[in-house]
Amino acid sequence: MLDSLLSDANQRLEKALRYVTLCEDAIERLKYPKASLTVSIPVRLDDGSLRMFQGYRVRYDDSRGPTKGGVRFHPNVTLDEVQSLAFWMTFKCAALSLPFGGAKGGITLNPKELSKFELERLSRGYIDAIADFIGPDVDIPAPDVYTNPMIMGWMMDQYSTIRRQITPGVVTGKPITMGGSLGRETATAMGAFFVMQAILPRFGLPPAGTTVAVQGFGNAGAVIAELLYRAGYKVVAVSDSQGAIYASQGLDIPSIRQFKESSRGIKAVYCQGTVCNIIEHEVLTNAELLTLNVDVLIPAALENQITAANANDIKAKYIFEVANGPITSEADQLLEAKGIHVFPDILVNAGGVTVSYFEWVQNRNGLYWSLEEVNRRLEAKMTEETEKIWAIAQELTISMRTAAYVHALNRLGEAIRAKGTRDYYVN
């Protein structure tokens, strides 16, 4: 546990352990990833030059089933980050009672610097390098930061080519025509919306008049912003990597999304526009958005956005983590001391992996569900687990984050115990 991000993530585990009865075997196993793979991926660029990219895949724990987790393309990807994300995925799958363990993958690069052809060669090269490490019954990748259905389709196709058989279940988040599930692209945001709908009424916060700021206007952030807007919430600020916009009377989220999407180049894989080009607003930095005086703050970008350095400046009373790990463990303590309610990523953003599970099930059965069926099942799952975690938090008088880890630990402990532990052999 020497790596900083993973050490920080492990502090959440240590805190939750005070409230569960877990065998020594389970505690020891959950402190370390099961397997980590680092690969070098050679890619022939369009100008004929060769460039090497560093890639990673980590399977953290498979006590409850094959591991599951996204693949991100980002300049800041490191093995430490990927291990931390795989750790969170382990607890997320257990908290939602999915038959998966946790995994994660990534490649260190700025994907916007590559052409579509170069991205395809990179994506296929990544699968060439990790093909023996993944599989529909071993480890199932999915989209994450700067990866999308097209990239997942390339990865599934490359794995199928290697195995000499069509294998849709090896990857989720694929295009619909390649075995993807309806509702997968919006699942992370939709799941978060269902959690918010279950939680906010408990605090007497109806949609009308409840102000919201969303940091991150990518796939998850843009969709949750529009879902809240259409439900009647007042979304007053949003941001992307270039900065933020704010309007106290509320923003027209559908118009902002339309602008962002229409500014995309015809041949581009990634959106090239920025929300900061929208007129009639106040321009802020991402850091300033986090400290706005709003009811609800939604970090939907990257990890470590709220730290000890800015936690005391946070004014929102309710934070829903749509991003993975946006709040450090040290900041958690400061926010809790201020009476700010934090609803953790391993619950709030679990809609993505839940619908990935639905996609995996559909691939294996060869029977595909309607969008209405997918969303109905997603709402039922997210609401059910939110209520269970809420009940634990109230019973033990602990935060929702700690309650979510307690809930997950109980399920992980049962799975590890079922395979035989020291207690079984000693007694």
By annotation, the residues acting in catalysis are 104
Report residue 7 as tokens: 């050490």
Amino acid at 414: E
Q: Sheet holding 35-44: strands in order across?
A: 35-44, 50-61, 101-108, 67-74, 139-143
Backbone angles phi, psi at 286, to 5 degrees: -60, -40
Q: Cα–chain-centroid distance for residue 223?
A: 14
Report the candidate in 365, 347, 348, 355 with the shortest Cα–Cα distance to residue 183. 355
DSSP for 43-92 reads EE-TTS-EEEEEEEEEEEE-TTSSEEEEEEEETT--HHHHHHHHHHHHHH
Residues 94 and 63: beta-carbon distance below 8 Å: no
Report the candidate in 251, 349, 244, 226 with the shortest Cα–Cα distance to residue 291. 244
Q: Tell me how far apart the terminal alpha carbons of the chain are, to the nearest angstrom.
A: 31
